[in-house]
Amino acid sequence: MTAPTPPQPSVRADQWLWAARFFKTRSLAKQAIDGGKIEVNGARCKAAKALHVGDTLMISRGIERLEVVVAALSAKRGPAATATLLYSETESSVINREREREAQRLSRMAYQPPDGRPSKRDRRNIVQFERLQGVPASDETS
């Protein structure tokens, strides 16, 4: 007979995401998990999913996509320096994030702000255009 293997240490997914400082509160981490923004080992998870060292997480926060590997477990939130030791980001994730950051920077460079306020004629044209589009004008009184 073989001896039973001791259980691996584990932490709830929402606790670990909070402790690793991906989310400000556990309830925000739970909302992200419930919303399908977190995948563990390629599959959606629930907030109570037990995470183990070596698990791979895909985390979506806004336009940011992170792929991290769980390096250590913690259910307590500590300093940011300690939180970064709980995970390691994959090389492909770092490259993709840099690529997205550069694309965002370039798209902001293409924006040309208007020279000033619209003239009275421009404003009337804007209001007329909004009426044609079915958008209620904010400064009109009915």
- Token pair belonging to 34: 């419930």
- Token pair belonging to 70: 């769980």
* CA gap 68, 90 in Å, rounded: 6
For the segment 70-80, what is each residue's pLDDT rounded down to a tens digit? 999 999 999 99
Cβ atoms of residues 85 and 72 within 8 Å: yes
Domains of the chain: 8-94 (3.10.290.10)
* Helix or strand run (H / E) with residue 59: strand 56-61
For the segment 66-123, what is each residue's pLDDT rounded down to a tens digit? 999 999 999 999 999 999 999 999 999 999 999 999 999 998 888 888 888 999 999 9
Residue at 134: amino acid letter: G
Q: Is 56 helix (H, G, I), strand (E, B) or coil?
A: strand
